[in-house]
Structure 1
């Protein structure tokens, strides 16, 4: 632990310049006495630490000295700082590691360009959370992260969509965050599957470790799994006629900015478009958002369901 603290102290001085012992103690969450002991240890190791007392005094590294811990350009540092801030990893056990990594990146830059790089990185922000949806509570996430890092087998209690729970023993291969939702990729006697982390109500690390499958690549698995998952959904094709206003409302109602490009003009001064849904009920719920700007042409069961729902809605009002 002290080695980590000494490295943090060195990087803090290198990236932020002169700081008082109290400021360093607050940054490292240690006592002032510990800071002075650590400064002595750095000096003994050959790091030129300069301390001065009185007003305007503090602790700093000798002018012009820089640790050769890492070599990186300002452009590379800007890119890494931008993509590492505010993402999903900030909210799990790797958040502290990210903070240390950003500190190292800044410390590796010459003092003259450090402020410019920090300011440039601050002009980019990646928000991975979906609109109108709070982050899913995932109480088991810290346990999952630790098990993935250490190749520890897990005993999971998993709640299905119907509310029923089941238990399973898995080998946790990786974690994926998609639009603010975490998924555990795990192997079991049923093969490699993706499990929604929010549905894991309890996770118990087991003493056993596991050997990762030869050639397993998390990114390739996720790309294949998401393609298969998307192909398994939206099997019901529904043909609709949209007015110009309905066509313009497509992105807002269905959240698909590219669907309008598939629409073709028809003889009724509107546009025809084929859309895909899970089932008639899902189609009805979503298409009602167009109001009178959309007409279902087929299949008949969806058209009848839309008409019946519209009649019952009008009767209520």
Structure 2
């Protein structure tokens, strides 16, 4: 499942071709993905101008001139691909591909006034789209219970310490709780805990104030580095221009079971345990 850096990377890729542009035609090729599409979705999108593209947790939100907001969730294999007519490629950017022939899993297609085409392709159909009133977007069932953004000003060590105080769950599970922090997923929590030298099974309420204080900037650094690298390409993920993300080449523990710990002077190897059905990778020496 794409995590915050992957979704932010896609959002940034869509901004140059969608933000400020009118959707001249929206095409919806099936009745549903993970859930049914909203009524008359194609009609409600056609003719609307995209006022702005933002991200909340792992969701892309397109605010429209109609007073509605389009929510986009990529799911496990969803991709937003940008293409352009051959003559418009130079204006839209060197990485935009010429309009390809329609594919089986092209479920939603946006033709923009600038000539760009944005295609939502989702082979597994775990993605989702919905339309809601912009003024009430925060109350949407998928958004209402989310915690603060880890890159936002409201996320700091005071907030995190308050949320973790007395919490009798492993820190790995606590950081994955979207009600506590929005957008963190398995990959980047593993990387954060390794850099913080905290074992993933440590009870959240047992962490010392200094451990929490050092973890907040590490979370920010890990996410910022991943966004800069274009996210992590595991299985199906691609950026909006079709290119791979490259942060997976910088993983220090994730997916490295049996490999040497990268900390200088440490002779241990990376281990893996399963927590709540998800793999946790860690160094048994550096993370005690």
Using CA pairs below 8 Å that are at least 6 residues apart, which structure has the higher relative contact order?
A: 2
Q: Which has the higher helix share?
A: 1
Q: What is the TM-score when the length of structure 2 is the normalising length?
A: 0.27
Q: Which has the larger radius of gyration?
A: 1
Q: What is the TM-score when the length of structure 1 is the normalising length?
A: 0.25
